[in-house]
Structure 1
Amino acid sequence: MSWQTWLDTAATAREEAGLTRRLRPRGPHDATSNAHSVDLAGNDYLGLSRHPEVRRAGPPRRRCCGAVARVRPRLVTGTLTLHGELEPTSRL
């Protein structure tokens, strides 16, 4: 059996067993329970990445600085010059 056939067979078996992982993006509002939820495990627990002023300010800066993850932890990926430019002017 080729490795591709083996992978396809294994993937089909996982799918049929209900073991295939499916990512389900969530917003701050959980439609299944009709409740507001706060994700305290992430870096955006205050929801600032979705704040209208932050979203308006972000796109032009992202274009000049490249693709920047929305809520990346600085301790892991470092501080950008962009942070130093935007933080003093932030009113949030």
Structure 2
Amino acid sequence: YKETNQQVLKNLDEIFSTTSPSANDEIGQEDALNIKKAAIALRGDLALLKANFEANELFFISEDVIFKTYMSSPELLLTYMKINPLDQNTAEQQ
């Protein structure tokens, strides 16, 4: 049962995520847990599950592009901070 479960999670991880299994052929526990939670939440609907993971990947890709773009130039970063000011509590935590 455990082996079958690991294989299912590994397959899902490869289908829906850019993360790959580690050298010892086990996917990260956090990835596995997130896949399990998503599968339970979406009641095993693979189309919804796939859409959910694709949306998450697109979010991280776009976030990465924004980060790299603004971090490449101090002027752009200052402009970005003026456009998107952090509230006082968040700013203090940073």
TM-score (norm 2): 0.25
Higher relative contact order (CA 8 A, sep 6+): 2
Higher helix share: 2
The structure that is strand-richer by fraction is 1
The structure with the largest alpha-carbon Rg is 1
